Amino acid sequence: MEKIKRGKLKGGVRSKSSRQYRRSRKRTKGWLMRILVLLLIGPAAFGLYHGVKLGRQFMKLPLFDIKYIECSGRRRLSESDILKLASIQSLNYFDLNTQAVAQRLLSHPYIYQAAVDKIFPDTICIKITERKPWALVNCGDLYLVDKKGVVLENLQDKPRSGMTIITGGDEKLEEGKSISSPGLKNGLELMEELEKAGLLPDISEINIKQPDFPKIYTLSDDIEIWLAQEKIKERLKQLQQVREDLHARIKEVEVLDLRSAENVIINRE
């Protein structure tokens, strides 16, 4: 009789019992691996879960409650104004969203820049840069604007400060928004040129009813001066020269017409 090796039939075909045995071993090995993975990962996951839970509880300790708020950079706004605007809802160091606080501060027309920092473990530092009032603008109501034309405040019944006022505009202005009308923009540009020329402190009013031909009024001499927006720097040099030439007689002048580059028209009282 021909001998047959264990687990095999003649011709190399595996027996049924051999296949079942190997499948059983494979399944057993798979279950053992799963159990091993659970034994290794289970305690780690359990520890991680409770570690995170303990960490959260730790961050809620009174040690991390905000106890101090420092404000710097303010000029016109009061500290209470800034704190109210910041609206710090969370008093926990870790929960506080500094970017959200900064965005709330920037919503105020007077605030140009805002930085909010946390100092571990219980302090917040707020640093702001305020816009500087530059001119008064009369467009029905009286508004305060900065050098870039941002409307800072509707003065309503508040007393006006000793600033140059721009009149003749009809734009509807809104706090926190920039002026858009060409006439008012020309008025602000003219103010800058007057400042560069050293004339602005003596100018009480700029009328831009005719945007290309603004009128300015002096404080010291009470003179009405007609200008042309075109080549405004040359017109202002002309104005300085005329005032120097007239000297004492300047008080006799009621109107100076500098709209023409060639001729200066002087109307006396």
Model pLDDT for residues 212-225, shown as the tens digit of each residue: 999 999 998 889 99
Q: Is the pLDDT of residue 29 over 60?
A: no
Average pLDDT value over all residues in the chain: 83
For domain 133-268, give its CATH number from 3.30.565.10, 3.40.50.11690, 3.30.420.40, 3.40.50.1100: 3.40.50.11690
CATH homologous superfamily of domain 63-130? membrane protein fhac (3.10.20.310)
Q: Is the pLDDT of residue 32 over 60?
A: no
Sign of the CA dihedral with 95 first, then 97, 101, and 104 last? negative
CA distance 131 to 105: 13
CB 152 within 8 Å of CB 133:
yes
| pLDDT confidence of residue 33 | 63
- The DSSP 8-state label assigned to residue 228 in this structure reads -
CA distance 234 to 177: 32
Beta strand 141-146 with 133-139 is antiparallel
Stretch 134-162: mean pLDDT: 90
CA distance 30 to 18: 19
